[in-house]
Amino acid sequence: MAGGELVLLDFWASPFGQRCRIALAEKKLPYDYSEQELLGAKSDLLLRSNPIHAKVPVLLHGDGDGRAVCESLAILEYLDDAFPDATPRLLPSAADDPYARARARFWADYVDKKVYPVGTRLWKVKGEEGVRAAAGARGELVEALRTLDGELGEKEFFGGEFGFVDVALVPMMPWVYSFARYGGFSVEEECPRVAAWARRCMERDSVAGSLRSPEEIYDFIGLLRKHYGIDD
Protein backbone atom coordinates (compact mmCIF):
# COMPACT_ATOMS: atom_id res chain seq x y z
CA MET A 1 0.00 0.00 0.00
CA ALA A 2 1.35 3.44 -0.90
CA GLY A 3 1.79 5.85 2.01
CA GLY A 4 1.14 5.02 5.66
CA GLU A 5 -1.70 3.42 7.44
CA LEU A 6 -5.41 4.11 6.87
CA VAL A 7 -7.95 4.67 9.66
CA LEU A 8 -11.66 5.22 9.05
CA LEU A 9 -13.62 7.16 11.67
CA ASP A 10 -17.17 6.00 11.18
CA PHE A 11 -20.51 5.08 12.74
CA TRP A 12 -22.09 1.70 12.03
CA ALA A 13 -25.37 2.97 10.52
CA SER A 14 -23.92 5.87 8.50
CA PRO A 15 -24.62 5.45 4.78
CA PHE A 16 -21.84 7.96 4.13
CA GLY A 17 -19.39 5.89 6.15
CA GLN A 18 -20.60 2.72 4.43
CA ARG A 19 -19.65 4.27 1.09
CA CYS A 20 -16.06 4.42 2.29
CA ARG A 21 -16.15 0.87 3.69
CA ILE A 22 -17.43 -0.46 0.36
CA ALA A 23 -14.74 1.43 -1.58
CA LEU A 24 -11.97 0.25 0.74
CA ALA A 25 -13.23 -3.35 0.44
CA GLU A 26 -13.50 -3.16 -3.37
CA LYS A 27 -9.93 -1.88 -3.56
CA LYS A 28 -8.72 -4.39 -0.93
CA LEU A 29 -7.05 -1.61 1.06
CA PRO A 30 -6.47 -2.66 4.69
CA TYR A 31 -7.54 -0.12 7.31
CA ASP A 32 -8.37 0.26 10.97
CA TYR A 33 -11.99 0.97 11.81
CA SER A 34 -12.72 3.46 14.58
CA GLU A 35 -16.37 3.50 15.72
CA GLN A 36 -17.49 6.97 16.82
CA GLU A 37 -20.34 8.18 19.03
CA LEU A 38 -23.24 9.65 17.05
CA LEU A 39 -25.39 11.10 19.82
CA GLY A 40 -22.95 11.25 22.75
CA ALA A 41 -19.82 13.34 23.20
CA LYS A 42 -17.59 13.50 20.12
CA SER A 43 -14.10 12.06 20.48
CA ASP A 44 -11.07 14.33 20.54
CA LEU A 45 -9.81 12.48 17.46
CA LEU A 46 -12.98 13.29 15.50
CA LEU A 47 -12.99 16.94 16.59
CA ARG A 48 -9.32 17.27 15.67
CA SER A 49 -9.72 15.51 12.31
CA ASN A 50 -12.90 17.23 11.15
CA PRO A 51 -13.09 20.50 13.12
CA ILE A 52 -15.41 22.07 10.57
CA HIS A 53 -18.27 19.56 10.54
CA ALA A 54 -17.29 17.19 13.42
CA LYS A 55 -18.94 14.38 11.45
CA VAL A 56 -18.06 10.92 10.25
CA PRO A 57 -16.76 9.58 7.96
CA VAL A 58 -13.17 10.80 8.15
CA LEU A 59 -10.32 8.91 6.51
CA LEU A 60 -6.93 9.35 8.19
CA HIS A 61 -3.98 8.51 5.99
CA GLY A 62 -0.42 8.47 7.28
CA ASP A 63 1.50 8.43 10.51
CA GLY A 64 0.21 9.73 13.84
CA ASP A 65 -3.21 11.26 13.32
CA GLY A 66 -2.47 11.30 9.60
CA ARG A 67 -3.91 13.52 6.96
CA ALA A 68 -7.65 13.81 7.44
CA VAL A 69 -9.90 13.49 4.40
CA CYS A 70 -13.51 14.51 5.11
CA GLU A 71 -16.80 14.19 3.20
CA SER A 72 -17.63 10.79 1.77
CA LEU A 73 -17.51 11.62 -1.95
CA ALA A 74 -14.17 13.39 -1.48
CA ILE A 75 -12.93 10.24 0.29
CA LEU A 76 -14.02 8.07 -2.65
CA GLU A 77 -12.18 10.36 -5.08
CA TYR A 78 -9.15 10.39 -2.76
CA LEU A 79 -8.97 6.59 -2.79
CA ASP A 80 -8.89 6.62 -6.61
CA ASP A 81 -6.34 9.47 -6.63
CA ALA A 82 -3.97 8.32 -3.87
CA PHE A 83 -4.02 4.58 -4.64
CA PRO A 84 -4.02 4.36 -8.43
CA ASP A 85 -2.86 0.74 -8.32
CA ALA A 86 -5.68 -0.36 -6.00
CA THR A 87 -8.23 -1.45 -8.59
CA PRO A 88 -11.05 -1.33 -9.43
CA ARG A 89 -11.14 2.42 -9.90
CA LEU A 90 -14.51 3.93 -8.90
CA LEU A 91 -14.31 6.55 -11.66
CA PRO A 92 -12.60 5.97 -15.01
CA SER A 93 -9.32 7.87 -15.28
CA ALA A 94 -9.38 11.44 -16.61
CA ALA A 95 -7.41 10.33 -19.63
CA ASP A 96 -9.83 7.48 -20.38
CA ASP A 97 -13.23 9.12 -20.06
CA PRO A 98 -13.62 12.65 -18.66
CA TYR A 99 -17.29 12.74 -19.62
CA ALA A 100 -18.13 9.55 -17.71
CA ARG A 101 -16.42 11.12 -14.67
CA ALA A 102 -18.58 14.24 -15.00
CA ARG A 103 -21.77 12.19 -15.32
CA ALA A 104 -20.90 10.04 -12.30
CA ARG A 105 -20.19 13.15 -10.23
CA PHE A 106 -23.51 14.63 -11.34
CA TRP A 107 -25.47 11.57 -10.22
CA ALA A 108 -23.63 11.16 -6.92
CA ASP A 109 -24.41 14.82 -6.21
CA TYR A 110 -28.05 14.10 -7.12
CA VAL A 111 -28.13 11.28 -4.56
CA ASP A 112 -26.65 13.56 -1.90
CA LYS A 113 -29.18 16.30 -2.54
CA LYS A 114 -32.34 14.31 -3.23
CA VAL A 115 -32.31 11.05 -1.28
CA TYR A 116 -30.97 11.18 2.28
CA PRO A 117 -31.90 14.76 3.25
CA VAL A 118 -35.37 14.40 1.74
CA GLY A 119 -35.87 11.05 3.47
CA THR A 120 -34.81 12.64 6.75
CA ARG A 121 -37.52 15.27 6.30
CA LEU A 122 -39.93 12.34 6.00
CA TRP A 123 -39.31 10.76 9.41
CA LYS A 124 -38.06 13.73 11.43
CA VAL A 125 -41.51 15.25 11.71
CA LYS A 126 -43.25 16.69 14.73
CA GLY A 127 -46.72 18.17 15.04
CA GLU A 128 -49.13 19.24 12.32
CA GLU A 129 -46.62 21.33 10.39
CA GLY A 130 -44.34 18.29 10.34
CA VAL A 131 -47.02 16.10 8.81
CA ARG A 132 -47.50 18.60 5.96
CA ALA A 133 -43.72 18.79 5.43
CA ALA A 134 -43.54 14.98 5.39
CA ALA A 135 -46.17 14.77 2.65
CA GLY A 136 -44.05 17.10 0.51
CA ALA A 137 -40.90 15.13 1.25
CA ARG A 138 -42.65 11.86 0.33
CA GLY A 139 -43.50 13.25 -3.13
CA GLU A 140 -39.97 14.56 -3.66
CA LEU A 141 -38.39 11.28 -2.59
CA VAL A 142 -40.62 9.17 -4.85
CA GLU A 143 -39.82 11.49 -7.77
CA ALA A 144 -36.08 11.18 -7.07
CA LEU A 145 -36.30 7.38 -6.92
CA ARG A 146 -38.19 7.31 -10.23
CA THR A 147 -35.56 9.59 -11.77
CA LEU A 148 -32.79 7.26 -10.58
CA ASP A 149 -34.77 4.31 -11.95
CA GLY A 150 -34.90 6.03 -15.34
CA GLU A 151 -31.18 6.82 -15.29
CA LEU A 152 -30.32 3.21 -14.40
CA GLY A 153 -32.62 1.83 -17.08
CA GLU A 154 -31.57 -1.63 -18.21
CA LYS A 155 -27.90 -1.17 -17.25
CA GLU A 156 -26.43 -3.62 -14.75
CA PHE A 157 -24.82 -0.79 -12.75
CA PHE A 158 -25.11 3.00 -13.05
CA GLY A 159 -21.83 3.43 -14.90
CA GLY A 160 -22.12 0.09 -16.72
CA GLU A 161 -19.66 -1.55 -14.34
CA PHE A 162 -19.89 -1.22 -10.54
CA GLY A 163 -18.45 2.18 -9.63
CA PHE A 164 -18.83 5.64 -8.12
CA VAL A 165 -22.61 6.12 -8.35
CA ASP A 166 -23.33 2.58 -7.17
CA VAL A 167 -21.08 3.09 -4.15
CA ALA A 168 -22.76 6.45 -3.47
CA LEU A 169 -26.34 5.14 -3.68
CA VAL A 170 -26.38 1.57 -2.43
CA PRO A 171 -25.81 2.38 1.30
CA MET A 172 -28.87 4.63 1.08
CA MET A 173 -31.10 1.68 0.18
CA PRO A 174 -31.70 0.24 3.68
CA TRP A 175 -32.58 3.81 4.67
CA VAL A 176 -34.82 4.21 1.62
CA TYR A 177 -36.77 1.08 2.63
CA SER A 178 -37.25 2.66 6.06
CA PHE A 179 -38.26 6.03 4.57
CA ALA A 180 -40.81 4.10 2.47
CA ARG A 181 -42.32 2.58 5.64
CA TYR A 182 -42.71 6.07 7.12
CA GLY A 183 -43.99 7.48 3.83
CA GLY A 184 -46.32 4.58 3.03
CA PHE A 185 -44.98 3.75 -0.41
CA SER A 186 -43.38 0.71 -2.00
CA VAL A 187 -39.79 0.85 -3.25
CA GLU A 188 -40.46 -2.15 -5.51
CA GLU A 189 -43.39 -0.39 -7.15
CA GLU A 190 -41.86 3.08 -7.49
CA CYS A 191 -38.41 2.06 -8.72
CA PRO A 192 -38.37 -1.66 -9.60
CA ARG A 193 -35.10 -1.48 -11.51
CA VAL A 194 -33.33 0.25 -8.63
CA ALA A 195 -34.71 -2.40 -6.26
CA ALA A 196 -33.32 -5.19 -8.49
CA TRP A 197 -30.02 -3.30 -8.85
CA ALA A 198 -29.72 -3.07 -5.02
CA ARG A 199 -30.09 -6.87 -4.83
CA ARG A 200 -27.35 -7.26 -7.50
CA CYS A 201 -25.09 -4.95 -5.47
CA MET A 202 -25.69 -7.07 -2.34
CA GLU A 203 -24.16 -10.05 -4.18
CA ARG A 204 -20.81 -8.27 -3.89
CA ASP A 205 -18.84 -9.04 -0.74
CA SER A 206 -17.85 -5.38 -0.44
CA VAL A 207 -21.50 -4.32 -0.18
CA ALA A 208 -22.87 -7.26 1.81
CA GLY A 209 -20.05 -6.80 4.34
CA SER A 210 -20.70 -3.05 4.78
CA LEU A 211 -24.49 -2.65 4.83
CA ARG A 212 -26.98 -3.36 7.59
CA SER A 213 -30.47 -4.73 7.04
CA PRO A 214 -33.44 -2.39 6.42
CA GLU A 215 -34.92 -3.71 9.71
CA GLU A 216 -31.86 -2.64 11.71
CA ILE A 217 -31.95 0.80 10.09
CA TYR A 218 -35.69 1.10 10.75
CA ASP A 219 -35.12 0.28 14.42
CA PHE A 220 -32.25 2.77 14.53
CA ILE A 221 -34.49 5.51 13.10
CA GLY A 222 -36.96 4.61 15.87
CA LEU A 223 -34.20 5.29 18.40
CA LEU A 224 -33.42 8.61 16.72
CA ARG A 225 -37.10 9.59 16.86
CA LYS A 226 -37.08 8.96 20.61
CA HIS A 227 -33.82 10.86 20.96
CA TYR A 228 -35.28 13.89 19.16
CA GLY A 229 -38.46 13.71 21.25
CA ILE A 230 -40.70 12.78 18.29
CA ASP A 231 -41.84 9.49 19.85
CA ASP A 232 -42.18 8.78 23.57
Binding site for a second copy (CB under 8 A): 52, 61, 67, 69-71, 73-75, 77-78, 80-82, 84, 94-95, 98-99, 101-102, 105-106, 109-110, 147
Q: How far is the CB of 182 from a second copy (least distance, A)?
A: 25
Q: Which is nearer to a second copy, 105 or 212 (CB)?
A: 105
CB of 107 to a second copy, least distance (A): 9
Query: Whose Cβ is closer to a second copy: residue 13's or residue 73's?
Result: 73
What 3 state SS string does the chain have?
A: CCCCCEEEEECCCCHHHHHHHHHHHHCCCCCEEEECCCCCCCCHHHHHHCCCCCCCCEEEECCCCCEEEECHHHHHHHHHHHCCCCCCCCCCCCCCCHHHHHHHHHHHHHHHHHCHHHHHHHHCCCHHHHHHHHHHHHHHHHHHHHHHHHHHCCCCECEEECCHHHHHHHHHHHHHHHHHHHHCCCHHHHCHHHHHHHHHHHCCHHHHCCCCCHHHHHHHHHHHHHHCCCCC
- In angstroms, what is the minimal distance from the CB of 38 to a second copy? 20
Beta carbon nearer to a second copy, 69 or 221: 69
Nearer of residues 93 and 213 to a second copy, judged by Cβ: 93
Minimum distance of a second copy from residue 81's CB (angstroms): 4
